[in-house]
Chain A
Amino acid sequence: MRDADSSCDECPTQSDPVQTENSTLKTVLNKIRNNALAIFGLCFLSALILAAVFAPWITFFDRDHIDMALISQPPSLTHWLGTDELGRDVYTRLIYGARVSLSVGLVSTCISVLIGVFLGAVGGYFGKAVDSIIMRTVDVFMCFPFYLIAVVMAAIIGPSILNLMFIAGILNWPKISRIVRAEVLSLKHREFIEASRALGLSSGKIILKHIIPNTMAPVIVYATLGIAQGILMEAGMSYLGLGVKQPIPSWGNMLAAAQDFSVLVAQWWLWIPPGAMVFLSVLSINFLGDGLRDALDPKIAE
């Protein structure tokens, strides 16, 4: 394994000097830089996040401003993406809609990562009854059809942004906890875990400081993809009228306009822009997730 350096214990590192300042973030960024698709994803998402944050400054109309004199206008210089059936500016609502979609994606993913990582790590580490209970719960969650249960839950607790985040978070943690548990099962028998126990660390500390950080690579990748799933779910639920309610704009409820056949045929500016945003943001997130997976996988050499 190490034949060359046996003779020179004094020259210990195989790494070149450039690598000395090796924060993980830097290494990851370096690796991503060569991946055009991931860079595209990163740029698009950054732009989207900036647009969502600074929405009031880059739009020219009030979000809910109704102008009955200008209903269903095609795109023009004043209304870049035209107006909807109530005379509201589509471009403005599209940008504000990014706020809803992104925050649903982010918050629901945070919820599912927190629950999933915690339960997965605890189950994997302690095993036995704890593990059985957690994993059987996971099995129960995973045997429901995702959209069906989401629709039922939304129907029971009512449509709203917060409920949507909650539903998406609650339905997504089982996959993450399975990933984490599998990682923990192999990690906990590694020698460095035994070594840290021999150094006097308690179980809690070992889980928090040694096991969970070691499971982060797949979790980060999965979480990225989870955001995409959150956005898709928001769009789907709002389209069905079970998500974000009018007048708050979201890409999903803007797409709902296409339920009307005349809109679908004659007013493309009402549904193509939100559809394209959903498509592009999910695509970017997936590109970025793939890029991250490659970058975080130590087996893929630089």
Chain B
Amino acid sequence: MNTSLIEVQDLVSSFRSPAGPTRVVDGISFTIPKGKVLGMVGESGCGKSITSLSIMRLLPQPNGFIESGRILFDGTDLLELSLERMENIRGNEIAMVFQEPMTALNPIFSVGEQIGEVLQTHRGMKGRDKKEKAVELLRLVGIPRPDRIAEEYPHQLSGGMRQRVMIAMALSCDPKLLIADEPTTALDVTIQIQILDLIRDFKDKLGTSILFITHDLGVIAEMADEVAVMYLGKIVELASVCDIFDHPSHPYTKGLMESRLVKKRKGDSLICIPGMVPSLTNKPKGCAFSPRCSDCMDICRRESPELKEISPAHFVRCWLSN
């Protein structure tokens, strides 16, 4: 048995539309070893969130569905589990932190009650035990005066505090995998770093694996062990975080690196990747990035490249590297 906790194989997730199913996640594969962090980057609409929702089997209903593929979690295929088994895994073994702490908490229950609900569902805790454990969790995520905050309602807390509460809820049952879907995007920078530190602390302490979704390369450099760059539903580059930053090999990854704001002086113009992400219903023939690629060749417009290993554990989907 290898040490990978979750193994996604050729996952295809689609949405039904009047014009037939639209593939949003188009055959992606990755593994996350125990205690490691996989960072997932890409523009809006490239399928990052849909990948995470597919793992949870929570694609937006009624139109989203998983077309094919396997998601092996600790050796069992999540896609074949019954709904009850899946509900038992959600929040318990796989937990999720959402992007918007402002809306991801129920406005009419105190935060203590909401953490308690998870404990009751998965751990069968009741009464005093439940309350004490909820306060304990709030203390762990660095909330001052946790016994008082547990009695407060979400609208009384700031964004950073709420995100801490969300993390407390996600970690309440010691999950093996934490899916963090842009957990810091809605927060301001000073809070961002605190939340990132908090997540990293827990990873080190509990050995939790993390799927970390973001579009912020700085956050990726901070958090990830491995990075998957997504473009239009496909992984275009998959490598260790050092390789990605030192030797970006896919033109899209290079473009992302160049559009960062590092080492820019006043007056320098910002670099961006020309063009727009093509629509999912009208994907270009051949390589999906070809219309925006500066090094586009003839073959790029005709055939879609495969994901190739160009150096150990560094995969790229590009004709240039073949």
Contact = CB atoms under 8 A, between A and B. Distances in A.
Interface of A: 1-2, 5-7, 9-10, 12-15, 19-20, 22, 24, 127-128, 190-192, 194-202, 205, 209-210, 213-214, 298
Interface in B148-180: 148-149, 151-153, 155-161, 166, 169-170
Given A6-B190, A200-B91, A200-B92, 11 more contacts: A9-B158, A12-B157, A190-B103, A191-B100, A194-B58, A198-B56, A199-B90, A200-B87, A202-B84, A209-B117, A213-B109
B91 A198 contact: yes
Interface centre among A197, A205, A298 (most CB of B within 10 A): A197
A20 B87 CA distance: 35
- The 3 A-B pairs with the shortest beta carbon distances in the complex, nearest first, are A199-B91, A200-B91, A200-B90
Interface in B74-120: 83-84, 87-92, 95-96, 98, 100, 102-109, 117-118
Nearest to B188: A6
Interface of B: 56, 58, 62, 83-84, 87-92, 95-96, 98, 100, 102-109, 117-118, 121-122, 143-144, 148-149, 151-153, 155-161, 166, 169-170, 188, 190-191, 194
B144 A12 contact: yes
A199 B98 contact: no
Contacts of A24: 108
Contact of B190 (A7, A12, A199): A7
Contact of A9 (B83, B92, B161, B166): B161
B62 A195 contact: no
Given A2-B159, A12-B161, A191-B100, A202 B144 contact: no
A298 B107 CA distance: 10
A276 to B, nearest CB: 39
A2 B106 contact: no
B95 A198 contact: yes
B117 to A, nearest CB: 7
B166 to A, nearest CB: 8
A197 B98 CA distance: 12
B103 A199 contact: no
B98 A12 contact: no
Contact of A199 (B84, B169, B194): B169
A192 B106 contact: yes
B87 A202 contact: yes
Given A12-B143, A192-B106, A20 B148 contact: yes
Contacts of B160: 6, 9
Nearest to A11: B144
B118 A127 contact: no
B60 to A, nearest CB: 9
Contacts of B166: 195
B194 to A, nearest CB: 7
B174 to A, nearest CB: 14
18 contacts: A6-B158, A6-B188, A13-B152, A15-B156, A192-B103, A192-B105, A195-B105, A196-B106, A198-B56, A198-B95, A199-B96, A199-B170, A200-B118, A202-B84, A202-B87, A209-B117, A213-B109, A214-B108
Given A6-B191, A214-B106, A197 B158 contact: no
Given A10-B144, A12-B149, A20-B148, A197 B156 contact: no
A209 B100 CA distance: 21
Contacts of A196: 106, 117
Contacts of A12: 143-144, 149, 156-158, 161
Nearest to A205: B121
Contact of B88 (A192, A200, A205, A213): A200
B87 A198 contact: no
A191 B103 contact: yes
Contacts of B169: 199
A299 to B, nearest CB: 12
A14 B149 CA distance: 12
Contact of A2 (B100, B117, B149, B158): B158
A213 B95 CA distance: 24
Given A2-B158, A191-B98, A201 B103 contact: no
A24 B109 CA distance: 10
Contacts of A213: 108-109
A198 B100 CA distance: 14
Contacts of B153: 22
Contacts of A2: 158-159
Contacts of B105: 192, 195
A191 B91 CA distance: 15
Contacts of A195: 96, 98, 104-105, 166
Given A2-B159, A20-B148, A192-B105, A199 B100 contact: no
A200 B121 contact: yes
A12 B161 CA distance: 7
Contacts of A194: 58, 98, 104
A241 to B, nearest CB: 46
